């Protein structure tokens, strides 16, 4: 069972297998098949390596922030909460994950929603959350796996579907979808951006710097310098004693901050390189699956695939989302109850994407305000999610991204108030609605 989890939760292996299947379906020759599969595999490993560097640079920043401003509370972190869930619900999670992916493919095959979700680790996270919720609901083992799998397949389909209109606007084509369970936050950012009627003239990518600051047009340089400023400011507030004793293993706190800021910029650079490599291979390979197995299917890929479309918006979105998290935290402090601390990792990955979508629809203002809204959304949703997670809701961490909150609150509320019957009926109704074909309007001829 652990082997199944290991395979299905690794995007590099999962997407390489999909690419291999697509290339074989197109009857490509051995050379093209090996090349396409290998480059897809390596490309996703490059993205994962970049993401790992980013996270290792952001984690100390979060610790420094908490120390600097003396705040404590719940830190949303998918990896931490899933580790707790897997210790008790590992088998159920693996089965829900596997059959949920089957349901996703079946929905894509037989309905108008042609999205195949390929972000394996996010699929694992949602499977773990659904396993917990279905236990709380009172399902027996078979019912738990069946209901969890159908629920997972539905969310895997609807999450990229709600974002596809904005993906078409962003990418200029309909070849690829976004497979990342924070679509609600991204859609909110894009809709906020529409209020500002953005254009290329006010895009984050067309920021006019004075001639003396022309070097800031290079996204790697601007990201590195901006993060240096942020790290040094927070480090000064946190104090050298704490950083050198707890984080840097004795390295001078300013040197440590410079290295972490530079590592952050390096992580972004690596991710952007990996994305270009993957997109050049996976989209053509996926045509084999679209032709043979699921007509017109679109691969829903992990969130870094959109970063190259607006590198400046990536950094702007991160900061704006983080500010939204701080704003939300202050409100929670004054209103009492659970305090959700702004997790730096989720605010970067979701805030960056929200910034890109907000910029696509509303330029610079859309990027800033849309990402701020995303920060508020992913701060308050966990407050309402925690009570429906049973004993797991009392942990000092919880799920971070918006779609976990929305789907968890929906199914968890049904579980708490009406049990298995209500969840079963809701799943049947949703599937029935998804299966309804939409008639295309006929164009009038004169």
Which tens digit of pLDDT belongs to each residue from 93-123?
A: 888 988 898 899 999 999 999 999 988 889 8
Q: How do the residues of the chain divide into helix, strand and coil, expressed in percent and rounded to 5?
A: 80, 5, 20
DSSP designation for 70? T
What pLDDT does 185 receive?
96
54 near 264, Cβ under 8 Å?
Answer: yes
Question: 253-292 vs 11-25: helix axis angle to the nearest 10?
Answer: 30
Cβ-proximal residues to 242 (8 Å cutoff; 6+ apart), any chain:
64, 67
Q: What is the pLDDT of residues 297-332, one digit of tens each?
A: 898 998 989 998 998 899 899 999 999 999 999 999
Which 3 state secondary structure label does DSSP give 181?
Answer: coil
pLDDT confidence bin for 443, thresholds 50/70/90? very low
- Which residue shows structure tokens 């946190």? 238
Question: 141-171 vs 183-194: helix axis angle to the nearest 10?
Answer: 30
CA distance 12 to 76: 25
Out of 212-226, 243-257, 317-331, 375-389, which region has the weakest mean confidence (pLDDT)? 212-226
CB atoms within 10 A of CB 218: 11
CB atoms within 10 A of CB 56: 13
166 near 327, Cβ under 8 Å?
Answer: no
CA distance 210 to 203: 17
Average pLDDT, the chain: 86
pLDDT confidence bin for 445, thresholds 50/70/90? very low
Locate 24 and state its tokens. 């074989």
Cα angle, residue 20 at apex, residues 16 and 26 outer, rounded to 5°: 145
- Which residue shows structure tokens 């008639």? 439
- The secondary structure of 184-199 as a DSSP string is HHHHHHHHHHHTT---
What pLDDT does 112 receive?
92
- Interval 158-183 mean pLDDT: 94
pLDDT at 341 over 90: no
What pLDDT does 44 receive?
80
Out of 85-94, 322-331, 377-386, which region has the weakest mean confidence (pLDDT)? 85-94
DSSP designation for 398? E
pLDDT at 368 over 90: yes
CA distance 92 to 410: 20
- Interval 398-425 mean pLDDT: 91
- Interval 411-423 mean pLDDT: 89
Out of 72-86, 96-110, 128-142, 298-312, which region has the weakest mean confidence (pLDDT)? 72-86
CB atoms within 10 A of CB 319: 20
Q: How far apart are the first and last CA of the chain?
A: 63
Among 152, 219, 211, 174, which residue's Cα sits nearest to residue 404? 152
pLDDT at 16 over 80: yes
Out of 66-70, 102-106, 300-304, 408-412, which region has the weakest mean confidence (pLDDT)? 66-70
Query: Whole-model pTM above 0.85?
Result: no
pLDDT at 85 over 60: yes
């Amino acid at each position: 069972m652990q082997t199944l989890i290991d395979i299905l939760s690794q995007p590099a292996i999962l997407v390489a297998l999909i690419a291999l299947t697509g290339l074989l379906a197109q009857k490509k020759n051995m050379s093209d098949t090996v090349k396409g599969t290998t480059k897809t595999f390596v490309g996703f490993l490059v993205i994962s390596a970049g993401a790992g560097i980013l996270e290792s640079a952001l984690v100390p920043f979060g610790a420094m922030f908490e120390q600097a401003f003396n705040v404590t509370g719940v830190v949303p972190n998918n990896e931490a909460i899933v580790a707790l869930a897997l210790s008790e619900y590992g088998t159920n999670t693996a089965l829900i994950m596997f059959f949920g992916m089957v349901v996703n493919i079946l929905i894509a095959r037989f309905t108008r929603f042609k999205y195949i979700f390929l972000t394996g680790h996010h699929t694992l996270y949602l499977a773990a959350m659904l396993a917990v919720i279905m236990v709380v609901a009172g399902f027996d083992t078979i019912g738990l796996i069946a209901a969890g799998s159908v629920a997972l397949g539905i969310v895997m389909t609807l999450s990229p579907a709600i974002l596809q209109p904005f993906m078409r606007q962003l990418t200029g084509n309909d070849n690829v979808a976004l497979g990342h369970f924070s679509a609600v936050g991204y859609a909110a950012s894009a809709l906020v951006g529409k209020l500002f009627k953005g254009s290329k003239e006010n895009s984050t990518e067309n920021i006019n710097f004075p001639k003396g600051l022309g070097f800031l047009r290079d996204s790697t340089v601007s990201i590195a310098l901006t993060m240096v400023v942020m790290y040094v400011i927070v480090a000064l507030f946190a104090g050298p004693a704490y950083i050198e004793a707890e984080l840097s293993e004795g390295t001078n706190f300013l040197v440590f901050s410079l290295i972490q800021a530079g590592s952050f910029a390096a992580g972004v650079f690596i991710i952007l390189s990996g994305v270009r490599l993957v997109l050049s291979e996976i989209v053509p390979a996926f045509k084999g699956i679209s032709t043979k197995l699921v007509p017109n299917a679109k691969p829903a890929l992990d969130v870094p695939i959109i970063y190259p479309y607006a590198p400046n918006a990536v950094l702007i979105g991160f900061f704006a989302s983080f500010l939204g998290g701080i704003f939300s935290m202050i409100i929670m402090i004054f209103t009492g109850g659970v305090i959700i601390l702004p997790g730096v990792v989720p605010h970067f990955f979701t805030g960056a994407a929200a910034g890109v979508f907000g910029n696509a629809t509303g330029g610079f203002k859309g990027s800033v305000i849309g990402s701020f809204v995303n920060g508020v959304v992913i701060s308050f949703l966990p407050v309402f999610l925690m009570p429906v997670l049973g004993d797991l809701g009392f942990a000092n961490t919880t799920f971070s991204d918006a779609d976990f909150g929305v789907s968890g609150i929906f199914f968890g509320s049904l579980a708490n108030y009406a049990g298995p019957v209500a969840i079963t009926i809701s799943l049947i109704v949703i599937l029935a609605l998804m299966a309804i074909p939409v008639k295309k309007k006929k164009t009038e001829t004169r």
